[in-house]
A and B are shown apart, each in its own frame.
Chain A
């Protein structure tokens, strides 16, 4: 099966759910509506033999503005990976359904996406931060993130402005 076959099959089965495809080189991806992502991935797993989930990641597009969640399910029978993108509004309540009941791999990947971007996953069994400490403020991988100066009394940056050696490099 090729990428085109999968896109055609999905567009036929979910006419409202599939919003089109992004023709980026070298890997194209399929745009999915946030309300339909759970059914689309269930269809991929049950009917099209996509046995495993490789990656769930987040991307921040402040220009659009949108937060994007990218899913990469993989198939061992067809030896391929397909890329699905879900665009969410860039607010405090960016929500999408969790796919932990379909693939257990999504459990930790979604926790990391929440930790880094602040995207909420509904019905996630263990919705808390994974890499940053539990009481960290802010979402580090957003483009407008500013590192805090102090965390629980400990200084965070390597040098503060007044004591740094001046003009490191040319940045």
Chain B
């Protein structure tokens, strides 16, 4: 090997010399199935995978250092760009952390709008995960149908905040702009259109024999693995534990809405396999529609933002806020020292832990099953690398 490639590969690969009947395959940073810039170094024995080691850091923008040099209001656009496919949930988590440091209360109208918009964003993110998972398995139609419906949600968000993907909508103390009756009617029309579509998607992809045979009993994560790796969200629910932060540690007005928490049952194969996680995401979309229907007609009057002033200076202290994002439990640990800029902002991203389990999940499977496993983990590299 030439000197340049030797300096780029880590030392552990040269510690043991490569056996001649094993192939070192580099699923490089540019790959259509890795959902971003992820590099997986795969050692295979023929078609069976011996080791699949993920290498991350290709999208590292050091958001935590930028946050230390910006005001509290100016950190919001940076937070949007963490998990760029579920941007509203990220900014809600950050806003909740700063509001608990400040000790202010958010007006009721803003709470209603925040929960409706978070659930709409959850539907959009799960549609994206469903579409790209179908695309990885070879079902191009699933991608097209998922994106057609996601466009309708993006149109609603564009009317509301002015942008299609990175909204900067959940400000500290409330929301950026108020919601109009026209947008409320558009959300109601969307719900009427979308409810029968979930059954259609299940018939098209989830119960299709080819999809079932490719995803059942693959990538099994049991409860013990979840606990020791710190996995949350759909991983826990797919493994059978009925845990949802919106019910067990509620924030905002989730105490006042009625919804179920779907769990995986091992219906098609083993409990905690890729199919279980997929069907949990489809069922969560049904529950999100149910939550929006309960709230959309009763939005109270009032201001859409609390009075916080131009410069935000929380008193010295620490806060840890937890929110249920589509990909897991997002945590923000903020330390404030009394000035206008945060002292330390640490983001606990769920995808970071999800991708670290890849080596354990893919021992002894075939290369095509590796693709199925990565797709079911539903990672976004913006959140893994921050």
- The answer on direct contact between A and B (beta carbons under 8 Å) is yes
> Chain A: residues with CB nearer than 8 A to chain B?
24-27, 29, 51-55, 57, 59, 70, 72, 76, 79, 81, 83, 103-105, 107-108, 116, 126, 128-135, 140-141
A104 touches B315 (CB 8 A): no
A130 to B54, CA, bound (A): 10
User: What are 29 A-B contacts with C-beta separation under 8 Å?
Assistant: A24-B318, A25-B317, A26-B103, A27-B317, A52-B226, A53-B230, A54-B329, A55-B346, A57-B346, A59-B335, A59-B344, A72-B333, A72-B348, A76-B243, A83-B320, A103-B228, A103-B230, A108-B352, A108-B353, A108-B356, A130-B57, A131-B56, A131-B57, A131-B385, A132-B57, A134-B10, A141-B62, A141-B64, A141-B65
B317 touches A24 (CB 8 A): yes
B320 touches A27 (CB 8 A): yes
B317 touches A26 (CB 8 A): yes
A130 to B57, CA, bound (A): 7
B60 touches A131 (CB 8 A): yes
A51 to B232, CA, bound (A): 12
Instruction: Tell me which of B103, B316, B317 has the highest count of chain A C-beta atoms within 10 A of its own C-beta.
Output: B317
Instruction: State the 7 A-B residue pairs at the shortest beta-carbon distance, nearest first.
Output: A105-B230, A131-B57, A51-B227, A57-B346, A25-B317, A131-B60, A55-B348
Q: Which residues of A contact B10 (CB under 8 A)?
A: 128, 134
Instruction: Tell me which of B7, B101, B319, B356 has the highest count of chain A C-beta atoms within 10 A of its own C-beta.
Output: B356
What's the interface size class on B, roughly?
Answer: 35 or more
Q: Does B16 contact A (CB under 8 A)?
A: no
A131 to B343, CA, bound (A): 21
A29 CB to nearest B CB, Å: 7
**Contacting residues of chain B (207-236) with chain A, CB-CB under 8 angstroms:** 226-230
* Supplied contacts A70-B333, A76-B241, 12 more A-B pairs, CB within 8 Å: A25-B317, A26-B101, A26-B317, A27-B318, A27-B320, A29-B318, A55-B331, A105-B230, A116-B64, A131-B57, A133-B57, A140-B65
B60 touches A52 (CB 8 A): no
Of all chain A residues, which has the CB nearest B349? A55
Task: Tally the A-B contacts, defined by beta carbons under 8 Å.
Answer: 86
A171 CB to nearest B CB, Å: 8
A124 CB to nearest B CB, Å: 13
Of all chain B residues, which has the CB nearest A108? B356
Q: Which residues of B contact A108 (CB under 8 A)?
A: 352-353, 356
Q: Does B200 contact A (CB under 8 A)?
A: no
A81 touches B230 (CB 8 A): no
Of A81, A105, A130, A140, which one neighbours B56 at CB under 8 angstroms?
Answer: A130
Q: Which residues of A contact B65 (CB under 8 A)?
A: 140-141
Q: Which residues of B contact A81 (CB under 8 A)?
A: 320, 322
Q: Does B100 contact A (CB under 8 A)?
A: yes
Q: Does B197 contact A (CB under 8 A)?
A: no
A103 to B318, CA, bound (A): 25
A55 to B322, CA, bound (A): 12
A134 to B39, CA, bound (A): 15
Q: Does B31 contact A (CB under 8 A)?
A: no
Q: Does B182 contact A (CB under 8 A)?
A: no
A70 to B335, CA, bound (A): 12
